[in-house]
């Protein structure tokens, strides 16, 4: 990995670190690097692309979050091993109570304007500290509380949504009514853990409560992230279902 082109300005609204992450990804493929091969040092990448160390670090974090590279303390950054992946589509939340309707109602808790934390900025593909709108809603199935939804929208995207969209509608469906924000791809991760203190207080549950956490990044037809959401679901109250398609080639 030697000579590379210099990148200096955002392209089509894409931040510089994201451009560099894509360039490194392309270079890994073009040079035929294999899992376990070491990438150049941060200083080498800084010189190659003519950018700051902070930008290189953000680019490497982006690649790490995408599962393309892995960092080993004291050794460097290496091409990650390929993983068996499962496309879970968009799982549907069902109440465990068989007599309950399989539709969810939302209780809007509020919206706030804030500077995007690094993790959220990376998933949305925006510069750290860019302004976003964060909405929180409780999720109910009938009278039963089943979870908490935290949605992060880029500012220009949230301006396309109505008050009814933000308060009561499924965000995936609300976004898909507008061609500019219509969702064509969803990046999804699921996990289980004990509830955080913050979520436990909102949901009114104990600290030992087990939750399912669903993180979604919704992208439009231009591959731009229009929503990053984190949904905390009470494990004893819900089930998830969806079509699973296994791809062993990645």
- Domain 86-247 bears CATH identifier 3.30.2350.10: no
pLDDT digit string (tens) for 185-231? 888 888 888 899 999 999 999 988 999 899 999 999 898 999 999 99
pLDDT over threshold 60, residue 164: yes
Architecture of domain 16-79: Orthogonal Bundle (1.10)
pLDDT at residue 84, rounded to an integer: 44
8 A C-beta contact, residue 210 and residue 235: yes
pTM check: above 0.75: no
For the chain, which residues make up each domain, given as ranges? 16-79, 86-247
User: How many CA atoms does the CB half-sphere of 236 hold within 13 Å?
Assistant: 7
Residue 246 makes CB contacts below 8 A (sequence gap 6+) with 84, 85, 86, 87
Residue keyed to tokens 């990650």: 80
Residue 82 pLDDT greater than 80, yes or no: no
What is the mean predicted confidence (pLDDT) over 133-162?
93
Q: Report residue 87 as tokens.
A: 């496309």
For the cut 50, the answer to whether the pLDDT of residue 239 exceeds it is yes
85 pLDDT above the threshold of 60: no
């Amino acid at each position: 990995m030697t000579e590379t082109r210099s990148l200096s300005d955002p392209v089509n609204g894409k931040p510089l670190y994201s451009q560099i992450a894509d360039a490194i990804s392309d270079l890994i493929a073009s040079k035929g690097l294999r899992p376990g091969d070491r990438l150049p040092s941060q200083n080498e990448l800084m010189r190659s692309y003519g950018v700051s160390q902070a930008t290189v670090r953000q680019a490497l974090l982006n690649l790490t979050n995408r599962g393309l590279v892995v960092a080993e303390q004291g050794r460097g950054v290496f091409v990650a091993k390929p993983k068996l992946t499962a496309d879970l589509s968009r799982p549907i939340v069902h109440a465990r109570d068989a007599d309950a309707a399989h539709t969810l109602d939302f209780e809007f808790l509020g919206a706030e304007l804030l500077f995007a934390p690094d993790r959220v900025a990376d998933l949305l593909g925006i510069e750290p500290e860019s302004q976003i709108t964060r909405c929180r809603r409780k999720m109910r199935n009938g009278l039963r509380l089943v979870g908490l939804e935290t949605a992060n929208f880029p500012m220009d995207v949230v301006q396309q949504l109505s008050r009814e969209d933000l308060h009561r509608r499924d965000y995936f469906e609300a976004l898909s009514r507008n061609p500019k924000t219509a969702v064509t791809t969803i990046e999804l991760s699921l996990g289980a853990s004990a509830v955080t203190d913050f979520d436990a207080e909102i949901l009114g549950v104990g600290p030992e409560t087990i939750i399912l956490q669903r993180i979604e990044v919704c992208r439009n037809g231009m591959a731009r992230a229009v929503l990053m959401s984190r949904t905390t679901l009470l494990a004893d109250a819900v089930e998830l279902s969806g079509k699973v398609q296994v791809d062993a080639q990645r």
